[in-house]
Each structure stands twice: as structure tokens, then as C-alpha cells.
Structure 1
Amino acid sequence: MLRALDIRDMLIIDRLELTFQPGLNALTGETGAGKSILLDSLGFVLGWRGRAELVRQGAAQGEVVAEFELPEGHPAHAILAEAGLPGGSELILRRVNSAEGRKTAWVNDRRCSGEVLRALSETLVELHGQHDDRGLLNPRGHRAMLDVYAGAEPQLAAVRAAWAEMARARKALAETEAAVAAVRSEEEFLRHSVGELDTLDPQPGEDAELDARRRMMQGAERIRDDVARAFALLGGDGAEGAMADAVRWLEGVADRAEGQLDEPIAALGRALIELGEAQDGVTACLEALDFNPVELEQTEERLFAIRALARKHDVAPDDLSGFADTLRARLGQLEAGDADLADRRAAVQAAQAAYDAAAEALGALRRKAAGRLDAAVMAELAPLKMERAVFQTQITPADPGPEGQDAVAFTVATNPGAPSGPLNKIASGGELSRFLLALKVCLSGDDSTRTMIFDEIDRGVGGATADAVGRRLAALAQGGQVLVVTHSPQVAARAAHHWRVQKHVTDGQTLSTVLPLSEPDRIDEIARMVSGDVITEEARAAARSLLQA
């Protein structure tokens, strides 16, 4: 609910503070007094796009502050939380416009963007009038209005869930198709590579072993002769024979040497043992150096094949075995691909069927609700002297989406048999106002969270029709808040709170102000609306009669 509006230096308003109340609030005044300026100022602080130049002539800047009361659960709380703005039961919007055209906005004393203001305004205020392109005249919102009227939230939730599931199924199918296509495009390469790797069957560590064996065989011819000569010098014709002879000669005379040869003989025994071990090692080396030249060729061929394959696939030789496993796994995707694709396609078909069923159920509910709404609006049009007009909610096929597959548009025909069309294209000014009012009465439901503003919605009507307009505005205001800018005394008389907008000249400057009216002042204002500039007693009597009706 809008509690207060503070306007400074906007157009012909220098300073204006208004406090609004629940129920029906009427703003009246002569044409040109500045009633539209109030709406321009409110629209400015709400971030709506309006006049380019709003700052009062001679002022450095204009400023508007609007204070709203937010009950628990109000949708504005979610917008504040998402924008990281402070919340609470009180919402204060402030916006400044410099003389150069720069605009700055605050929400609860925190800087914010115009986008946030406009998002908040959608939850705070509804503006209805002959030039309203944000509310009932905007066909883009008609489907949502019909859904609220139909109580279609459960069906809408089902359609949204089915749409999301269908989107997930289609995404999974697309990803699987892309993966299978990518593997299939390199199938020939994969099969050839896996064949090469399987044929070669390289093992981790084999590269180093082959390289060492190759180097040893390459050097074998150069060192084998030296090793053989050394082996000959260590054998019986060499060191071993000489040491054995020395031991035999020493042992033959040891008993006559008084023990002086015992230690040398023992040392030679140990040396013969070490010499035997050396002979064994040299023998093993000679055996290792004894190779078939074909083996060198085979070793080199396998080593070069492993290294060539490693370079081809840009991996280390020791990683070829693991790389082969990776390629086999990718080939396995081809075998599983057809089964996966079949499963994914079945999931898409199931999701599509679930969406179609949910969307059809929602569409059926909408069509039933459209019939009820049409009847309700027609019933409201009769007291508004439009009993010959035809209101119809048209539902046509639309591209499927999360809100279903129906397009909804409110259309009218001013006379039976006349072609129907959009509200703002077919109806005249006065007819349009009454259509909007009848439609809003039927669509209002229990939503009292937003302030509804009707800008001269009673234009072009009078008498009993204007009285019917006033009664319906008063009914809309029950439990909520409605602001109406009106020239109709019958409408003003139905208001619970009444303000008069008037101009005055101060120091050669025209300014506009708004005055709350007491009961006597209200009688005079309604009398002025009845009779014009000259207020007669008859006009006052008519005003009292309207207020008491």
C-alpha cells in the first residue's frame, strides 16, 4: 500500500507531501490543475519511462520519495533480497532528477538501478487508463491474468516442470548424439591405432630395457676380445696356475720355516677364492657378450617401433599401454552409443508426451476459465451501459514454452455482429475505460497487495453509468487501496478519502498543490464538479445526495 508521496521541484510542484489511506482515494480538480503531474511523479520514482523534462524551472534538481507498506509475503521482498537491498515492513523509494537529466535512485537508502525500481513497481502499483500499456491493455500479460483468474498455479507448475524435464532430456540426447558422432568420425583412426598398439603390445619399462640391451650388443664386439684376454690371464695358464704353483711350493717348505709362511699361505688361499669369483663374473660377461647379430636387429626394430608409435600419439613410450586402453574405451562408446541413443530418444519422447498432456490440461482449464471470465465481464458491462458490447477471451495456439502452448488475448466488439479486436483498437475512450473497469473487477480476486491507480477511467460517462463506475471502484478498494483521478462527481462521492488538486500563482510563478478535503470542503468540491465554477445551493444539495447514496 502507498502510504506517502513527497514531491519536490517537479514540473509545477515546488513542495508537496501527501499521506494516502487504504480504500478508495479520489483526486479531483479542474483540467490542467496538475493531477497528471502526480502520476508522472509517482511513475518517475517507480522507474517508469515518462516525460524527459520533469525538473521545475529554475530548480537544480527534482526529487520524489514514495513510502510503501509491505506485508509479510509481499512479492517485493523477493526482489529486494535478490538485489541485495535491505527489506522490512517499510519500503522507501527515492529518486532524484538533475536539471541536466541525470537520474539517481535509492531503495531504503541504498543506491539502486532503474531496472530494480521497475521490477519493484510491478509488485507495488497497477496503473489503468486509456493510455495504459503496462496493464490490461498489454496483450503480453493477458495469459498470466487469465491463469490467476482460473487458479491455474498447480497446472502451471506441472507444465513448467514437464518443460524443464523435456529440456533436460533433449540436452542429454544432444550431448549423446554429439559424443557418438565425434567417436564415429574417428572410428577408422581408432580401430587402426588400437590394432597397431595391440600388435606391438608395448609394456611399461620396455623402452629402457631394449635401449640398454641394444647399447650392450652394439659395444659387445669392441670389448669381448679384451674381456677374453683378461679371462685367459686369470685361468690355469695365467694367474690361477701361478698362484696354485706358489701355494704348492710354499706348503712344501712351510714345516721348515718355523711358521713364518703360514700367514702368506692363508692369504694366497683367500686370493684364490676371490680370483675364482672374478673368473665367474668375467665368464658371465663373456656369455652375455656372446649374442646373435639377428637379435640386435630385432631389438633395434622393436625399440624404434615403440618410439615411433609414442611420437605418433604424442605420449611417452611407457604410457603407450595406458593410451591403448583409452582408445579401446572410446571404441567401446560406439558399441554402447546406439543403446544410449535409443534410451535418450525414448526419454525425449516420454518427456514430450508428459509435456503435451500437462499443456493440454492447462489449456482445457484456460478455455473453461475464459468462458467464465467472458460471462462475468459481460455481466459487469450491463450496469455500465454497454450491454450490447461483446467481450471475448481468445485462446489460440502458440509456440510451446514453460507457460504452455496457448496465446491469450482479450478482445471486444462494441456491437453484436461487429468485428472484434484488441481493447485499445476497437473501443472509444469512454468505452475503453468501462471495459477496463469491468475486466479489472472480474480479475481482481483476492490480490490486495498492489495499489491500483485509475487515471480518468470514467471519462466520457455520466449519470447512472458514472455511479456504476464509482461503485465498482469502491468495491475494488475494499481490503486494498485504489487511487482514482476523476472528473466525475458520482465517482468522487464513492471515495473514502478525497483530495483536490489546484493551481495558484505565487510571485508570478504557477504552482500546483493538493489539499485533503474535510466533509464541508468535499461537499463544495463535488458541487463544483456538478455545476461548474459557480457553486449553487442546488449543486450542494446534489453533492450531499451523492455522498449519502
Structure 2
Amino acid sequence: MLRTLEIRDMLIIDRLELALEPGLNVLTGETGAGKSILLDSLGFVLGWRGRAELVRAGAEQGEVTAVFDLEEGHPALEVLEEAGLPGGEELILRRVNTRDGRKTAWVNDRRCSGEVLRQLSDTLVELHGQHDDRGLLNPRGHRALLDTYGGLQGEVARVREAWREVMTRRRQLDETRATLDKARGEEEYLRHAVGELDALDPQPGEDAELDARRRLMQGAERLREEIGKAAQALGPDGAEGAANDALRWLESVAGQAEGQLDAPLAAIGRALVELDEAASGVSRALEQLTFNPSELEEAEERLFAIRALARKHGVAPDDLGDFAQGLRGQIEAMTQGATNMVQLQQALVEAEQAYETAAAELGQARATAAKALDAAMADELAPLKMERALFTTEITQAEAGPEGRDEVVFTVATNPGAPAGPLNKIASGGELSRFLLALKVCLTGTTPGLTLIFDEIDRGVGGATADAVGRRLAQLAEHGQVLVVTHSPQVAARAGHHWRVEKRVSEDATLSTVTKLATQERVDEIARMLSGDRITDEARAAADKLMSV
């Protein structure tokens, strides 16, 4: 709810503070008194695009401050949170316009952009007037209005969930298809690479083993020569023979040496055992160095083949086995991907069928709600002297989307046989105002937390029609706040709070003032609206009667 509106140095207003109340707030005054300036100023602080020159003549800058009371859960709080601005039960908007055209805005004492102001505006104020291109006149919002009127939030939620499922399934299918297409493009390479690796079948550690064996075989001849010399030196013709001769000679005289040769004989025995082990080891080494000359060639070929594959695939030789397993996994995934594609395609078909069912049910519910809205509008238009006008909620097929396949537009035909068209294209000024009022009455309660503003919505009507307009405005104001700029005494008589806007000349400057009226002052103002500048007792009586009905 708009609590206060403070204006300084805007157009013909030098300083003004307007304290508004819940219910029906009415602004009256003569033409040109400045009523529209109040709305221009409110639109300025809300970020609306309006007049370019707003600063009062002689002033350096103009300033407007608007204070709103916010209930818990008010949509404006979400806008504030997304913008990183402080929230709370009170929302203070302030905007300054300098003489050179620069505009600066604050929200709760934090600088903000005009775009944030406009986002907040959509949650705070709804303006209805002959030249308004927001709110009810915007066809983009008609579908949401119809859904709210018909209480179709549940159906819409089901369609949105079904749409999300369709989008998820499509994305999964596209991603799987892209992966599979990429894999199929590499299929020949993958299978050839796996064939090469499987044919070679390299084992971990084989590279080092082959390299060592290759080096061994390359130096085998020299090794065999040296090891053969060692074997000869250790054998019967070498150290072993000499030790046996020494042992035999000593044993032949040991009995005569009275034990002095026992220790040497034992040592020579031990030496012969060690010599035998050494000779056996050398013999085994010679046997291992005995190989077919083709073995070196075979070892080199396999070693070079392993290293060539490792370089080709950019991995270490010992990792070729794991690399081959990874390639096999890709081939398996490709095979599995084809199976997944079939499953995902079926899941997408099922999701699309579920969406079409939900969208069709929502479409039927919208058609039912549209008929009810059209009937309600007919009932509302008759008292507004538009019983011959035809309001129609047109529902046409649109592209599938998160809110179904329906496009909704409110259309009117002002006379029987006349072509129907959008509200703002077909209806004249006075007719448009009454259409908007009737529509808002039918949709009352659909936009909680808004301050509704009607700018001369009663233009071109009078008598019983104006009375009907006043009654409907009062009805709208019962559970919220409505601000009306009016020239109709019948509408003013329904006000819960009444302000008179006047223009005065002070020191060669024309200024606009706003005065809140007490009961008797209201009677005089409504009498003036009935009779003109000269207020008669008859006019006062008529005004009093209007206010008491």
C-alpha cells in the first residue's frame, strides 16, 4: 500500500506531501489544477517513462519520495533480494531529477537503477487509464490473468513440470546422440587401435625386461669368453686341480706330521667345496648365455613394436594395457549408447505425450474459464451502459511452451456486428475506461498487494453510469487501496478519503496544492462538481444525497 507521496519542485508543485489511506482515495479539482502531475510524479519515482521536463521552473532539481507498506511475502521483497537491496515492512523510494536531465534513484537509501524501480513498480502499483500500455492492456499478461481468474494454478504447475521433463529428456537425448556421433566418427580408429594392441598384447614391465635381455644378448660373446676363462681357471685344469693335488700330497705325509697338517687339510677341503659351487655357478651362466641368434632379432622387434605403439598413443609402454582397456570401454559405451538412444527416445515420447495431455487439459480448463469470464464481463458491462458491447476471451493455438499451447487475448466489439479487436485498438477513450474497470472488477483479488490507480476512468460518462463506476471502484477498494483521479461527483461521493487539487498564483508563480477534505468540505466540493463555481443549497443537498446513498 502507498502510504505517503512527497513531491518537491516538480512542474508546478513546490512542496507537497500526500498521506494516503487504505480504501478508495479520490483526487478532484478543476481541469489543469495539477491532478495529472501527481500521477506523473508517482510514475517518475517508480521509474516509468514520462515527461522529459519535470523540474519546476527556477529550481535546481526535483525530487519525489514514495513510501509503501509491505506485507509479509509481498512480491516486492523478492525483487529487492534479487537486486541485493535491503527489505523490510517499509519500502522507501526516492528519485531526483536535475535541471540538466540527470536522474538518480534510491531504494531504502541504497542507490539503484531505473530498471529496478520499474521491476518494483510492477509489484506495487497498477495504473489504468486511457493511454496506459501496462497491466490489463498488455496482451502478454492476459493468459496469466485468465489462469488466475479460473484458479488454474495447479493445472499450470502440472504443465510446467511436464514441460521441464520434456526439456530434460530432449537434452539427454541430444547429449547422448552427440556423444554417440562423435564415437562413431572414431569407431574405425578405435577398433584398429584395439586390434593392434590386442595382437601385440604388451605386458606391464615387459619393456624393461626386453631391454635388459637385448643388452645381455648384444654383449653375450664377450661375456661368454671371459666367463669361459673363469670356468677354465676354476676347473680341473685350474684351481680345482691344483687344490686336489695339494690335498693329495699333504694327505700322503699327514700321518708323519703329528697333526700339524690337520688344519690345512680341512681348509683345503672347504676351499674345494666353494670352488665347486663357483664352478657350477659359472657353468649355469654360460648355459644362460647360450641362445639362438634369431632371439636377439625377435627381442628387438618386439621391444621396438611396444615402444612405437607407446609413442603413437602418447602413453608409457607399461600403460599400453590400461590404454587398450580404455579403448575397449569406448567401444562398449558406443554399443551401450545405441541401446540408451532407444530408451531415451521412448522416454521422450512418453514425456511429450504426458505434456500434450496436461496441456490439453489446461486448454480445456482455460476455455471453461474464458466462458465464465466473458459472462461475468457481460454482467458488468450492462450497468456501465455498454450492454451492446461484446467482450471475448480469444484462445488460439500457439507453440508449445512451459505454460501450454494457448495464446490468450482479451478482445472487444463495441457494437453488434462490429469487428472484434484488442482492447486498446478498438475501444474509444470512455469505452476503454469502462472496459478496464469491468475487467478489473471481474479479476479483483488476482493481484494482491497492488495499489490500483484509475486516471479519469469515468471520462465521458455520467448519471447512472457514473454511479455504477463509483460503486465498482468502491467495491475494488474494500480489500485494498484504490486511487482515483475523477471529475465525476458520483465517483467522488463513494470516496473513503477525498483530496482536492487546486492551482494558485503566488508571487507570479503558479503552484498546485492538495488539501484533504473533511465531511462538510467534501459536500462543498461535490456540490461544485455538480453545479460549477457557484455552489447552491440545491447542489449541496444533491451532494449530501449522493454521499448518503
Which range, TM-score by smaller chain?
over 0.9
Q: Which amino acid aligns with 1:359?
A: A
Deviations 1:241-280 (A, max 9, x none): 1222223333444455565544444444443333333323
Cα 1:472–1:31 shift into 2, 3 Å? same
- Cα deviation for residue 168 of structure 1 reads 0.6
Partners of 2:446 and 2:140 in 1: how far apart? Answer: 22
Q: Within 5 A, what are the aligned runs for 1:301-340?
A: 301-340=301-340
Deviations 1:378-414 (A, max 9, x none): 1111111111111111000011101111000011111
Question: SS at the partner of 1:383?
Answer: coil
Question: SS at the partner of 1:237?
Answer: coil
Partners of 2:62 and 2:255 in 1: how far apart? Answer: 134
Q: Which amino acid aligns with 1:240?
A: E
Whether the 8 Å CA contact 2:234–2:275 is kept in 1: the answer is yes
Whether the 8 Å CA contact 2:148–2:446 is kept in 1: the answer is no
Q: Normalising to structure 2: TM-score of the pair?
A: 0.96
- Cα deviation for residue 69 of structure 1 reads 1.5
Partners of 2:40 and 2:266 in 1: how far apart? Answer: 123
Does 91-100 or 285-294 show the bigger shift? 91-100
Q: Within 5 A, what are the aligned runs for 1:460-479?
A: 460-479=460-479
Partners of 2:9 and 2:96 in 1: how far apart? Answer: 10
- Cα deviation for residue 473 of structure 1 reads 0.5
Aligned equivalent of 1:424: 424
Whether the 8 Å CA contact 1:5–1:65 is kept in 2: the answer is yes
Q: Which amino acid aligns with 1:61?
A: Q
Q: Which amino acid aligns with 1:400?
A: A
Aligned equivalent of 2:535: 535
Aligned equivalent of 2:26: 26
- Cα deviation for residue 323 of structure 1 reads 1.1
Work out the percentage of aligned pairs sharing the same amino acid. 70
Aligned equivalent of 1:146: 146
Aligned equivalent of 2:512: 512
Deviations 1:189-232 (A, max 9, x none): 11111111111111111111111111111111232212211221
Partners of 2:173 and 2:297 in 1: how far apart? Answer: 53
Deviations 1:51-107 (A, max 9, x none): 233333343333222111222232223333333333332222222333343333333
- Cα deviation for residue 508 of structure 1 reads 2.6
Is structure 2 residue 123 aligned with structure 1 residue 105? no
Q: Which amino acid aligns with 1:289?
A: L
Partners of 1:507 and 1:285 in 2: how far apart? Answer: 127
Question: SS at the partner of 2:453?
Answer: strand
Q: Within 5 A, what are the aligned runs for 1:151-300?
A: 151-257=151-257, 260-300=260-300
Whether the 8 Å CA contact 1:498–1:517 is kept in 2: the answer is yes
Q: What count of residue pairs does the alignment treat as equivalent? A: 549
Q: Normalising to structure 1: TM-score of the pair?
A: 0.96
Q: Which amino acid aligns with 2:421?
A: G
- Cα deviation for residue 368 of structure 1 reads 0.7
Partners of 1:271 and 1:59 in 2: how far apart? Answer: 124
Cα 1:261–1:112 shift into 2, 3 Å? farther
Question: SS at the partner of 2:432?
Answer: helix
Partners of 2:17 and 2:272 in 1: how far apart? Answer: 122
Partners of 2:52 and 2:202 in 1: how far apart? Answer: 79
Cα 1:51–1:231 shift into 2, 3 Å? farther
- Cα deviation for residue 317 of structure 1 reads 1.0
Does 59-68 or 349-358 show the bigger shift? 59-68
Deviations 1:143-178 (A, max 9, x none): 111011000000000000000011111111111111
Partners of 2:261 and 2:539 in 1: how far apart? Answer: 159
- Cα deviation for residue 450 of structure 1 reads 1.0
Deviations 1:410-429 (A, max 9, x none): 11111001100011111111
Whether the 8 Å CA contact 2:149–2:446 is kept in 1: the answer is no
Q: Which amino acid aligns with 1:173?
A: L
Does 421-430 or 40-49 show the bigger shift? 40-49
- Cα deviation for residue 45 of structure 1 reads 1.9
Aligned equivalent of 1:525: 525
Whether the 8 Å CA contact 2:26–2:495 is kept in 1: the answer is yes
Aligned equivalent of 1:496: 496
Question: SS at the partner of 1:136?
Answer: helix
Aligned equivalent of 1:408: 408
Is structure 2 residue 60 aligned with structure 1 residue 49? no
Aligned equivalent of 1:363: 363
- Cα deviation for residue 493 of structure 1 reads 1.2
Question: SS at the partner of 2:343?
Answer: helix
Does 533-542 or 346-355 show the bigger shift? 533-542
Is structure 2 residue 60 aligned with structure 1 residue 60? yes
Whether the 8 Å CA contact 1:448–1:479 is kept in 2: the answer is no
Deviations 1:354-381 (A, max 9, x none): 0001011111011111111111111111
Partners of 1:100 and 1:402 in 2: how far apart? Answer: 46
Does 91-100 or 315-324 show the bigger shift? 91-100
Partners of 2:12 and 2:276 in 1: how far apart? Answer: 123
Stretches of structure 2 lacking an aligned partner (at least 5 in a row): none
Whether the 8 Å CA contact 1:72–1:89 is kept in 2: the answer is yes
Question: SS at the partner of 2:137?
Answer: coil
Question: SS at the partner of 2:396?
Answer: strand
Whether the 8 Å CA contact 2:45–2:66 is kept in 1: the answer is yes
Cα 1:39–1:274 shift into 2, 3 Å? farther
Partners of 1:125 and 1:258 in 2: how far apart? Answer: 134
Partners of 1:276 and 1:503 in 2: how far apart? Answer: 134
Whether the 8 Å CA contact 1:448–1:481 is kept in 2: the answer is no
Q: Which amino acid aligns with 1:153?
A: Q
Deviations 1:257-313 (A, max 9, x none): 565544444444443333333323322221221111111111111111111111111
Stretches of structure 1 lacking an aligned partner (at least 5 in a row): none
